[in-house]
Amino acid sequence: MEIFDDLLKFTVLDVIDIILVALLLYSVYKLIKGTVAINIFVGIVISYLIYLLVDALQMKMLTKILGGFMSVGIIALIVVFQPEIRKFLLMVGSTNISKKGNIFKRLNFFKTQAINETEAETVVSACVKMGSSKTGALIVLERNNNLDFLVNTGDEMNITVTQPILESIFFKNSPLHDGAIIISNNNIKATRVILPVNNEKNIPEHFGLRHRAAIGITEKTDALALVVSEETGQVSYIKNGDFVMYKNTEELSQQIKIDLS
């Protein structure tokens, strides 16, 4: 009967509370999906469930040990998930209600695959073509984190993405070829953008500043980056500060579509 009494006490605020928690957990999952952090998160959840179990079974020694671990859990979470927390706070801080009209849409709670319409095949084909002529390029694909704070470092644009446009921007004699370009929803937002460079991560010597800049922006935000090496013509795909390997251009295009969804 107590269960039914509790159900009768269930209010609209309780329903809203559950929905908001579910949306928050879903957003966190989307943020860390495909990264090493998801395994750490699962490990923390399992540890907490074990703690609840040993506490219920009154296993005092294990309860005390796990309880001590849980007591410093917040600090451990901040240390372990520092990049993800930074991305989440940046996502929240970059929300522009007046511009987008829907805070939930910006927080990615109700996002569908149709929202981001960047044509992966076009971008990849342009990179492969530029690689064949060893034309250096750095392309950043915006996802949830708004990259408007970087637009001021370059030239603001509003150009629909096409292969000829991308190739002409990074043409060696083009005044726009220096720096990176930012693409959002199949539009080039800015060219000649200056990105934060990562000097801490060890990468192969034949990779230069473009690759370090790609690592830097994908570590600090949830953006994706494509780099064409001016020395080798190799096309590199960077996500969460790491190089993503792919077998062929079709696989790369498919991976980008998945990551943008």
The larger pLDDT score, comparing residue 224 to residue 261, is at 224
- Structure token digits, residue 9: 């006490």
Q: Give the residue from 147, 185, 180, 145 showing the smallest Cα distance to 166.
A: 180
Q: Per residue in 83-131, pLDDT tens?
A: 666 666 665 655 444 444 444 444 444 444 434 556 889 999 999 999 9
Q: Do 52 and 62 contact (CB within 8 A), yes or no?
A: no
Amino acid 164: pLDDT: 93
The span from the CA of 151 to the CA of 192, in Å, is 9
The answer to pTM > 0.85 is no
Tell me how long the chain is: 261
Calpha distance 253→261 (Å, rounded): 12
29-33, 162-166, 254-258: least confidently modelled range: 29-33
**What confidence score (pLDDT) does residue 122 get?**
92
* Of 72 and 67, more confident: 67
Mean pLDDT within 17-22: 85
pLDDT confidence tier of residue 8, bands split at 50, 70 and 90: low
More reliable by pLDDT, 103 or 161: 161
Q: Residue 84: CB partners within 8 Å, gap ≥ 6?
A: 28, 31, 32, 35, 37
In sign, the C-alpha dihedral spanning 158, 145, 256, 231 is positive
Q: How far apart are CA 2 and CA 15, in angstroms?
A: 19
* pLDDT value, residue 107: 47
DSSP state of 185: T
Distance CA 105, CA 88 (A): 14
Count of CB atoms within 10 A of residue 185's CB?
Answer: 13
Mean per-residue pLDDT, 34-42: 64
Sign of the CA dihedral running 78, 80, 83, 88: negative
Comparison of pLDDT for 45 and 123, the residue scoring more: 123
The mean pLDDT value of the chain amounts to: 78
Question: Domain 120-260 adopts which CATH fold?
Answer: YojJ-like (1 (3.40.1700)
Domain coordinates in residue numbering, the chain: 2-106, 120-260
Per-residue pLDDT for 158 more than 70? yes
CA angle 117, 39, 41 (to 5 degrees): 90
Tally of CB atoms within 10 A around 202: 5
